[in-house]
Amino acid sequence: MGTKGIEIDELFYGTVTVGERGQIVVPAQAREDFDINPGDKLLVFRHPHQAGLVIVNVANVAQIMTFMEQALERMRKEIDEADTADE
């Protein structure tokens, strides 16, 4: 699901405060929207351009990897088609 047509306020869950031990609380609406429950494992990544953090539920990693593999395959096909057209 892309963000095309989604308003910025639909993407914003509010603010969090980092505690003394470096912990944050995921806002209730975000937990509900993403089915995050006590005991769930989350992966935390640095944004490629250091623009922030990306948090992903471990349970969704396989789905994300499948999406990325499909996107890469589409790109490979487009590159192959462009190379063939240039010949």
Predicted pLDDT of residue 40: 95
Residue 30 in domain: yes
Domain containing 43 — which CATH number? Answer: 2.10.260.10
**Of 27, 34, 23, which is closest to residue 64 (Cα–Cα)?**
34
60 falls within a domain: yes
Asked if residue 45 belongs to a domain, the reply is: yes
Q: Do 14 and 28 touch, CB atoms closer than 8 A?
A: no
- The total domain count for the chain is 1
Q: Is residue 38 part of a domain?
A: yes
- The DSSP letter of residue 43 is E
State pLDDT tens for residues 17-54.
Answer: 999 999 999 999 999 999 999 999 999 999 888 889 98
Domain that holds residue 53: 8-86
Q: What is the pTM of this model?
A: 0.63
* Calpha distance 83→77 (Å, rounded): 10
Q: Is 1 inside a domain boundary? A: no
